[in-house]
Structure 1
């Protein structure tokens, strides 16, 4: 929950955006998205579509699961709004993202940094980069128990784009109280809704 006071909901935006929450595994993207989903659960201007991944669901990540064969079939039929590969897995955003943005609704999604270029070709994209120091990320990844120490070291050593190369609209350094990071994301989403509402009124 936000530590800020509740404010009245802004109007539904006139032009929907894909609000891409990006950053390294372990930075806390899903935690922030879950908090925003709860805060805006009844807001008509925001949706929080679940990603589709060829990996079993777990308590550490909220997503839908498909087999590789089923994923490939749906992808070939154009059944995803966006799809990409990372860490030996297949990822996608459901058709809901496209239909929501076409109706003027913002879709908040956990997105891979490698897929941003293609996303920008298909959507109006707003990028929120969530990051944290390497030692913090290493601790969080180890606590998940999903990857070996060797895999975690490889993740941390992997070369990634400089932050400014991603052209983020907001950078959240999530290395302190989670409430502070949540409040920054909530404020950003409110600002996006307010800005879109003003554009609709002009």
Structure 2
């Protein structure tokens, strides 16, 4: 199991960030699980994901220099995961990446043995969460909901599906069980 990559993807509003934060908080400090730090073309915020912030020029320079093992663009931002964050990573049996559904075929090409986790929620839940964030117009929210409805897992790619509509701890326990993670604090 050494060096297993877990690629987590799903629509905006499904609660991927919350689910991964819950899982990270539940794991024992010495659990052989790492959460890959992403490089993103947005400013860091106190309440958001811990990431490396770069401007577009810096991101393009890093990508051209071959710094990223995985990189994609989504929702007007660029995301990259540096090689050092990916398997094999010393001391980690499992490396979890918060990825993109659109980039999934390329990630699978690069890491054919990865485990895919598709986090989703009902249309009503997605719409409600996206509207509550207040970052987008109703039309933009509907476009995101429609993309969630239109998504199909790429052919030949198996995934673990986690429905995150109820209590976060319920979805988190499902994820931990599906990934066979037992090193809880």
Deviation at 1:47, TM superposition (A): 0.3
Residues paired across the two proteins, number: 179
Q: When the two structures are superposed, what TM-score results if normalisation uses the length of structure 2?
A: 0.85
Other-structure match for 1:101: 88
Which stretch shows the higher mean deviation, 75-84 or 183-192?
Answer: 183-192
The root-mean-square deviation of aligned C-alpha atoms, in Å, is 2.3
What secondary structure is seen at the aligned counterpart in 2 of 1:114?
coil
Give the distance between the partners of 2:119 and 2:156, measured in 1 at CA: 12
Other-structure match for 2:122: 133
Give the distance between the partners of 2:66 and 2:44, measured in 1 at CA: 23
Structure 1 residue runs without a partner (length 5+): 1-12, 194-202
Computing the radius of gyration from Cα coordinates, the structure with the larger value is 1
Aligned ranges for residues 8-87 of structure 1 at < 5 Å?
A: 13-14=1-2, 16-58=3-45, 59-87=47-75
Residues 60 and 135 of structure 1, relative CA distance in 2, 3 Å threshold:
farther
Other-structure match for 2:174: 184
Other-structure match for 1:198: none
Task: Identify the structure with the greater helix proportion.
Answer: 1
Structure 2 residue runs without a partner (length 5+): none
Give the distance between the partners of 2:131 and 2:152, measured in 1 at CA: 25
Match of 1:151 among 137, 140, 145: 140
CA contact (8 A) 1:46 1:107 kept: yes
